[in-house]
Amino acid sequence: MPDPAQSPLRIKICGLSTAETIAASVEAGASYIGFVFFERSPRNVTPKRAAELSADVPPGVAKVGLIVDPSDDTLDAILSNVSLDMIQLHGSESPDRVLEVKTRTGLPAMKAVGISSAEDLSRLPPYEQVADQILVDTKAPKGSDLPGGNGLSFDWSLISGRRWPIPWMLAGGLTVDTVAAAIQQTGARQLDLSSGVERAPGVKDPEKIRAFITAAQAAVPTS
């Protein structure tokens, strides 16, 4: 099994809901395992189910909880059931709210920021001051029920050559066929994907997981 800590590329497989797909992700070298706590998502799991699945995640692989505009009660209910290593805020949380969540949970926070045009880049700096990581995702289409996991990519040239003050992760429309171009254009060394390794919404495919991670790792320059 690859050691995710030694990899030049760190990959997060999000929206996992079975022991089989967690095992496939870990064995292929994923650095992060993502659980979705958002009822409208086909990838939603309960905190109790996430706790059961967490037993299959070895030390060194981070367990991330994706939460959308959570109340304090929601945070408490999740964390009273499952031990997480990081909170991923994927809603319209303000920078102040990011700080509040970090303080309340005692966990690092990753803030997702949706991008569709150059104007959206101005939203990044305030979050870079408070979050521990930034997830750069495709802005959800108007009327979408889901803030992410829509299988759409944005214009990667918008962030080509950008200097990042904190660790960041690229998401949005990543597949085994697009990952090499994504890495080349953005310089990303952390990737997040969900729908790109599914055979149906919310149904992960172990073979697609393994194929994606293999292709992504092969696309990283060796020097």
Instruction: Give catalytic residue positions.
Output: 14, 137
- DSSP assignment of 174-195 equals --TTTHHHHHHHH--SEEEESG
Strands 109-115 and 86-89: parallel
CB 37 within 8 A of CB 47: yes
Which of 111, 146, 151 has its CA nearest to residue 128? 111
CB 107 within 8 A of CB 89: no
Show the tokens assigned to 116: 């569709």
Beta-bridge partners for 135: 112, 169
Q: CA-CA distance, 94 to 212, in Å (whole number)? A: 33
Q: CA-CA distance, 138 to 108, in Å (whole number)? A: 22
